[in-house]
Amino acid sequence: MSKEKEAVKSFVLRVDPETMDALERWAADEFRSINGQLQWIINEALRRAGRKGGAGKN
């Protein structure tokens, strides 16, 4: 198993049904899994907030 895969952490996330439906639709539109969509959303938010590489570039 690669080092990147070993570093991935799992956690439980609770969301209301309306939010889950919106996430499912958005993920389907982007041809991603729900997990992949959430990872993308989180990475984008971190990048835009200047908390991850590539900050401040819109």
Q: Give the total number of structural domains in the chain.
A: 1
Name all contacts of 5-13 with Cβ < 8 Å and 24+ positions apart.
13/38
pTM for this model (two decimals): 0.75
Q: What is the pLDDT of residue 16?
A: 98
Examine residue 41 and state whether it is found in any structural domain, yes or no. Answer: yes
Domain for residue 6, yes or no?
Answer: no
| Domain-embedded: residue 5 | no
Within a domain: residue 2? Answer: no
Q: Coil, strand or helix: which one is 56?
A: coil
Instruction: Please give the Cα distance from 30 to 39 (Å, whole number).
Output: 13
Is residue 37 domain-resident? yes
6-54 per-position pLDDT tens digit: 788 999 999 999 999 999 999 999 999 999 999 999 999 999 999 987 5
For residues 58 and 55, what is the distance between their CA atoms, to the nearest angstrom?
8
Containing structural domain, residue 20: 15-53
Band of the pLDDT at 2, cuts 50, 70, 90? low
Contacts of 25 (CB under 8 A, 6+ apart): none
In a domain? residue 49: yes
Structure-token pair, residue 34: 């729900």
